[in-house]
């Protein structure tokens, strides 16, 4: 019984140590600058922050799918990271395709050193308040992602 407890403690310690390296953004990507100035106008300036995924809707049958990540982080200027349980899934820059005070269309463009995770990268931003964010597909049986500010 004692050996089982020691083994469990040892395994837990190894997992925590491994996660410490794996769950953070690599140093060469932390301060990655894609833009030298702000890319969002005043109507969308509050988009920066951590966004917890709460629901996925849409798709061919309209029922969405299971949550395949849990956090979207958006940092200045236009840097994004998708996370699942603290592990980086994809990191890159946000490309503004079209922007007015009432409309924002973006594309997530992964860094060349990043894995490609988020394949449906073209999204319209619905920002009904400072604490709700929706990434809506512009067309045709694709998925919409709903977030609450963390």
Predicted TM-score (pTM) of this structure: 0.77
**Residue 71 belongs to domain spanning:** 25-149
Question: Does residue 69 register a pLDDT over 80?
Answer: yes
Domain count, the chain: 1
Distance CA 16, CA 84 (A): 15
pLDDT tens track for 29-40? 555 679 999 999
Q: Mean pLDDT over all residues of the chain?
A: 82
- Domain for residue 13, yes or no? no
Question: Does residue 134 register a pLDDT over 90?
Answer: yes
- Domain for residue 7, yes or no? no
Band of residue 120 on the pLDDT scale cut at 50, 70, 90: confident
Provide the CATH number for the domain around residue 44.
2.40.128
- Percentage of the chain lying above the pLDDT 70 cut: 77
Mean pLDDT to the nearest integer, 92-101: 96
């Amino acid at each position: 019984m004692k050996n089982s407890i020691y083994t469990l403690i040892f395994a837990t310690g190894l997992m925590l140590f491994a996660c410490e390296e794996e769950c953070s953004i690599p140093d060469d990507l932390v301060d990655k600058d894609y833009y030298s100035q702000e890319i969002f106008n005043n109507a969308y300036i509050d988009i920066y922050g951590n966004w917890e995924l709460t629901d996925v809707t849409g798709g061919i049958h309209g029922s969405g799918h299971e949550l395949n990540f849990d956090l979207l982080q958006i940092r200045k200027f236009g840097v994004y990271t998708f996370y699942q349980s603290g592990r980086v899934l994809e990191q890159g820059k946000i490309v503004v395709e079209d922007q007015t005070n009432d409309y924002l269309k973006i594309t997530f463009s992964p860094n060349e050193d990043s894995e490609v995770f988020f394949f449906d990268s073209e999204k319209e931003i619905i920002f009904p308040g400072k604490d709700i964010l929706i990434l809506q597909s512009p067309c045709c049986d694709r998925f919409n992602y709903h977030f609450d500010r963390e």
